[in-house]
Structure 1
């Protein structure tokens, strides 16, 4: 029996999945659950019946929602039973679904916003063929968000296996990597940093993909140690548009066939509305959507660029604009620093006081004085955090990123 999903000690086969969908006469348009198999099954029943779906985080607080009737959550609605002769027929039905799929932004910079997608915008980056068969995907994302959905569709449309490692501890992830035969991983840089330090290597992993946050050379070097046989890709995707760019390293390139779909204004990346889902919250400049992502050109003539920061993450320190990711990059160069997060704390005089939290590798010792001495000469004075705190762990967003 081909395996669809491994979730802790539970294993679900594709034949079981097909049987359950064939015998489903109802689904939940607004479904909230922490059970990954139930979530995927409900999603597929909705898609093959061309029914609307609203994807809700398992821990979503109802006060965060706007424009949604909470009384409709987990209420079943009937669908016409459809029988599929094979898994290939099921996959084709999903690929041609007419469903409207509503997902929410992460809400890290305000109230979560609804974005409506079609199966075409959600699966733009999916690749299918014999070369993609037999893959085993580590599932390291929240399933209700864009990155998790894209991993799901990539695996499902090729009848691959998913292994749930989302929100697992370092020891649990290492154990699964060792036992489950995972060949492909897609996760945030934060996820990979949590696997530090390198204690053993995993040679079965063939491809590693990073997305959702800025990464750095130190992290790439670590990933190469941990997964010595893997190709490393960096992906740019958003809730609004899905996956758009892929790169090896930090330099992205605008595809030639999409060159007219992107603009840059005052260092901000703009995306043509034809590449987006639909939402009343989108703000356009003409026909282009302002992403809030600030970039710098590496080679403008070839469309090669790198991301600098998020526009809304710049911190006002006494009239100066500080990019927290620039400071984090320098902090991560310090030997022994496993992870760093920089943020502003409101201050009546300066606007904000710059703060940093650091996690140090086990067995390493660093002091605040050593950190400050390292930063002197590498950063302007106003970019050096005034408050430095050593922590054991960080708060994460629902999408697995570090919460500022």
Structure 2
């Protein structure tokens, strides 16, 4: 059984079992250079009950606040060595592990902050059983962050094959789906927008999950065209808390048994400390943590809410707060526009000048003037970007989200 297919190289579950069984040491602070050695080191630590810190491969020394650079990727002896007769024993040992797993926030604004989790908190939403055994998972996330870890535990917990498509081109993603018969994929809305236009159909896909960014009905419809046989889910998760909600659309529902674990204050979602990992950086007010996510109630009595934006994404333009997601939604509604990112450039008069980068289809002839004229009929003047640049592709963060430069 294939464990990992990584852009031309394949590793079996037998390879993985042998690597873990023969390991006598591991790297507590691991900055991975490849997906397979990363998973081997990670699992080796977990079955030995050892702590592990997961670092992005491109983290710079300035971002490693409080981490000794000399200790990164240094080997240390395992506190105990355990060997397994079969992969089932290894899987059960991983899911019962008491290791501390330290991950970092994405660092898109400010210094990355470390958060300590356990296998139990990272795998809270994992479903295991016979009906999940034949799944084949596309791996479309950074493996050291919350979303990537959750996909890994879901796939590994059921002995599934993982196919690496992270940072792949549109053609490479479709080629992998077709060749491997991928059935499940979880990714950011930005990842799915990279698959547009809808001129390729993937009938093997059974479930598609979106998370990490705001999505919209237009994107859902496009995903439905590409993956006509798939159920489409939207998930709400964070580095601090892991996976919390799932929805068939853009409205999330707080389960009745958890209604006392959440508050909405001044439009911001607050999460009770009992649902979080641990971090010295957490600040609580009456045992609640400010998530930074701005939401709106769809039906407060039923516990239904909709995600609007991150608080730190709002752009101050002449004293007005602009939600870039709102502007991007209008831009991408234009026929022939594939993607857009809106961001602020510091300005001494206005605070920020609103800017946009736009990717359009090859046959799209829309100009900057055309786009501004279109937006003028749909947005207030201060929400219309003053600088619009057409580009071939948009920059992404290390977690695969749009980078607002």
Equivalent residue, structure 2, for 1:89: 89
Aligned-residue CA RMSD in angstroms?
Answer: 0.8
Measure, in 1, the Cα distance between the counterparts of 2:347 and 2:11.
Answer: 53
Q: CA shift at 1:366, angstroms?
A: 1.0
For 1:110-139, what per-residue CA distance to the aligned partner results, in whole angstroms no more than 9, with x for missing partners?
Answer: 000000101111110101111111100000
Measure, in 2, the Cα distance between the counterparts of 1:11 and 1:183.
Answer: 18
Measure, in 2, the Cα distance between the counterparts of 1:248 and 1:362.
Answer: 33
For 1:376-403, what per-residue CA distance to the aligned partner results, in whole angstroms no more than 9, with x for missing partners?
Answer: 1211111111111111111110000010
Equivalent residue, structure 1, for 2:397: 397
Within 5 Å, give how 1:233-272 maps onto structure 2. Answer: 233-272=233-272
Equivalent residue, structure 1, for 2:190: 190
Within 5 Å, give how 1:233-312 maps onto structure 2. Answer: 233-312=233-312
Provide the secondary structure at the position in 1 that maps to 2:213. coil
Structure 2 residue 170 is the aligned partner of structure 1 residue 170? yes
Measure, in 2, the Cα distance between the counterparts of 1:238 and 1:95.
Answer: 21
Q: CA shift at 1:91, angstroms?
A: 1.1
Equivalent residue, structure 2, for 1:204: 204
Measure, in 1, the Cα distance between the counterparts of 2:15 and 2:117.
Answer: 28
For 1:284-324, what per-residue CA distance to the aligned partner results, in whole angstroms no more than 9, with x for missing partners?
Answer: 12100000101000000000010111111111111111111
Asked if 2 retains the 8 angstrom alpha-carbon contact of 1:295 and 1:307, the reply is yes
Q: CA shift at 1:81, angstroms?
A: 2.1
Within 5 Å, give how 1:303-382 maps onto structure 2. Answer: 303-382=303-382
Q: CA shift at 1:84, angstroms?
A: 1.0
Measure, in 2, the Cα distance between the counterparts of 1:60 and 1:192.
Answer: 25
Q: CA shift at 1:199, angstroms?
A: 2.2
Measure, in 2, the Cα distance between the counterparts of 1:31 and 1:200.
Answer: 38
Normalised to the residue count of structure 2, the TM-score between the two structures is 0.98
Asked if 2 retains the 8 angstrom alpha-carbon contact of 1:196 and 1:361, the reply is no
Measure, in 2, the Cα distance between the counterparts of 1:230 and 1:19.
Answer: 35
Provide the secondary structure at the position in 2 that maps to 1:258. helix
Provide the secondary structure at the position in 2 that maps to 1:91. helix
Measure, in 1, the Cα distance between the counterparts of 2:349 and 2:7.
Answer: 51
Instruction: Count residues in correspondence.
Output: 403
Normalised to the residue count of structure 1, the TM-score between the two structures is 0.98
Provide the secondary structure at the position in 1 that maps to 2:131. helix
Q: CA shift at 1:372, angstroms?
A: 1.1
Measure, in 1, the Cα distance between the counterparts of 2:90 and 2:109.
Answer: 38
For 1:123-165, what per-residue CA distance to the aligned partner results, in whole angstroms no more than 9, with x for missing partners?
Answer: 1010111111110000000000000000000000000000000
Provide the secondary structure at the position in 1 that maps to 2:341. strand
Equivalent residue, structure 1, for 2:66: 67
Equivalent residue, structure 2, for 1:78: 77
Equivalent residue, structure 2, for 1:142: 142
Instruction: Please list every run of at least 4 consecutive aligned residues from structure 1 whose deviation after the TM superposition is greater than 4 angstroms.
Output: none
